[in-house]
């Protein structure tokens, strides 16, 4: 059906989307590149001339740079691990026969509808507050000293908040995948005396690999740029300064657009490294 005619038609029909996205990518990218080679300080008169690679050197040699890359990777990695592990477990659970499955599913999806700002505010104030938060009450109830979550366990707290938001997503994809699993295969394995664990490892998990890949890809894209959760909770203190947040600090708090833009370029490079890495896996897995 791929005639010459339909090929050119296809190109034309693809054009609007491709051109728009190309523009959306290139225009800011080029402007960011342009700014990144400038000393650009809005509060000191704006454009103060070209400075070569100064901003790049300064951004990467700042003591906050490597910790921020590390924080980014820990948060992304932590959330991915939690959502995938608990997502698989939840999906298996939800696939069991039970009463009121539909309602439970609604309860489990709900966090996905909550704005990141709102969920960060609610978690920070009503749960993690060391005096008035519910966790503090719970801890006191059991006679323990309340934890001040956002300073003593800052990264874990942020991972918890973000995981809560993304767990529904992972669970649902994995649940859909599990539902398509051939139950006869499982039963046959059970007859053969395979333990539940080996059934899971040899049949369920391989079946889920494609779904896990999708979760990995989509979540990474969203997680690399999380901002609201940090802005609302710790403002980058206590080792939660991610690369995105560091750029925010440079551009908006220090009002150094040049330096921040150089950071933006690094962030794009990091994102692309992750993307290439992901696409290697996804490419194999996605189109099978």
Partner 1 sequence: MARAVTPQRKALNTAIAWGIGLLIFFPILWTILTSFKTEAQAISDPPVFLFFDWTLENYSVVQERSDYMRFLWNSVIIAGGSTILGIIIAIPAAWSMAFVPSKRTKDILLWMLSTKMLPAVGVLYPIYLIFIRMGILDTRLGLVVVLMLINLPIIVWMLYTYFREIPGEILEAARMDGASLKEEILYVLTPMAMPGIASTLLLNIILAWNEAFWTLNLTAAKAAPLTAFIASYSSPEGLFYAKLSAASTMAIAPILILGWFSQKQLVSGLTFGAVK
Partner 2 sequence: MSLKNAFRAATALSVLATSAAYAETITIATVNNGDMIRMQGLTDDFTEKTGHEVEWVTLEENVLRQRVTTDISARGGQFDIMTIGMYEAPIWAKNNWLVPLDDLPAEYDVDDLLPAMRGGLSLDGTLYAAPFYGESSMIMYRTDLMEEAGLEMPDAPTWEFVADAARKMTDKDNEIYGICLRGKAGWGENMAFLTATANSFGARWFDENWTPQFDSEAWSNTLNFYIDLMNEAGPPGASNNGFNENLSLFQQGKCGMWIDATVAASFVTNPDDSTVADKVGFALAPDTGLGKRSNWLWAWALAIPAGTQKEDVAKEFINWATSKEYIELVASKEGWANVPPGARTSLYENANYKDIPFAQMTLDSILSADPNNPAVDPVPYVGVQFAAIPEFAGIATQVGQEFSAALAGQQSAEEALEKAQALTVDEMEAAGY
Q: Where does this chain bind partner 2 (CB under 8 A)?
A: 41-46, 58, 62-64, 129-132, 136, 145-146, 148-152, 231, 234-239, 241, 249-250, 252-256, 259
Based on CB atoms, which residue is closest to partner 1, 1 or 197?
1
Least distance (Å) from partner 2 to the CB of residue 43? 4
Q: Cα(first)–Cα(last) distance of the chain, in Å?
A: 22
Q: Which residue has the tokens 């991610």?
A: 242
* Cα distance between residue 219 and residue 130, in whole Å: 30
Pairing of strands 46-50, 38-41: antiparallel
> Closest distance between partner 1 and the C-beta of residue 1, in Å?
6
In whole angstroms, how close is the CB of 75 to partner 2 at the nearest point?
17
d(CA 160, CA 82): 9
Number of residues that bind partner 1 (CB under 8 A): 108
Element (H, E) at 217: helix 205-223
Could you list the beta-strand ranges (E) of the chain.
38-41, 46-50
CA atoms within a 13 Å half-sphere pointing along the CA-CB vector of 137:
6
Q: Are 67 and 241 in contact (CB under 8 A)?
A: yes
| Cβ distance to partner 2 smaller for residue 58 or 207 | 58
Length of the chain: 288
Q: Residue 95, interface with partner 1 (CB under 8 A)?
A: yes
Span interacting with partner 1, options 49-57, 73-81, 144-152, 174-182, rule CB under 8 A: 174-182
Pick the piece of the chain touching partner 1 (CB under 8 A) from 30-38, 47-55, 76-84, 197-205. Answer: 30-38
85 binds, among partner 2, partner 1, none (CB under 5 to 8 A by kind): none
137 or 280: CB nearest partner 2: 137
Nearer CB in complex with partner 1: 154/177: 177
């Amino acid at each position: 059906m791929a005639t010459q005619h339909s090929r050119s038609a296809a190109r034309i029909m693809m054009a609007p989307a491709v051109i728009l996205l190309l523009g959306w990518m290139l225009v800011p990218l080029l402007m960011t590149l342009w700014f990144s080679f400038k000393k650009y300080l809005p509060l000191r008169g704006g454009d103060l001339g070209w400075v070569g690679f100064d901003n790049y050197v300064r951004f990467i040699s700042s003591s906050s740079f490597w910790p921020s890359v590390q924080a980014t990777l820990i948060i992304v990695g932590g959330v991915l691990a939690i959502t995938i592990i608990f997502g698989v477990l939840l999906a298996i659970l939800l696939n069991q026969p039970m009463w009121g499955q539909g309602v439970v599913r609604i309860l489990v999806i709900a966090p996905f509808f909550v704005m990141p700002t709102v969920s960060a505010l609610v978690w920070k104030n009503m749960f993690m507050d060391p005096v008035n938060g519910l966790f503090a009450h719970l801890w006191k109830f059991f006679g323990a000293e309340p934890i001040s979550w956002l300073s003593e366990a800052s990264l874990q707290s942020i991972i918890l908040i973000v995981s809560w938001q993304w767990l529904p997503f992972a669970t649902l994809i994995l649940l859909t995948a599990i539902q398509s699993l051939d139950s006869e295969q499982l039963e046959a394995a059970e007859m053969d005396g395979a333990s539940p664990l080996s059934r899971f490892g040899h049949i369920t998990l391989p079946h889920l690999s494609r779904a896990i890949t999708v979760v990995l890809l989509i979540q990474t894209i969203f997680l690399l740029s999380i901002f609201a959760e940090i802005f609302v909770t710790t403002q980058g203190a206590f080792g939660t300064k991610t690369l995105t947040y560091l750029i925010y600090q440079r551009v908006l708090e220090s009002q150094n657009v040049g330096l921040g833009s150089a950071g933006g370029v690094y962030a794009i490079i990091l994102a692309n490294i992750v993307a290439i890495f992901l696409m290697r896996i996804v490419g194999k897995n996605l189109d099978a």
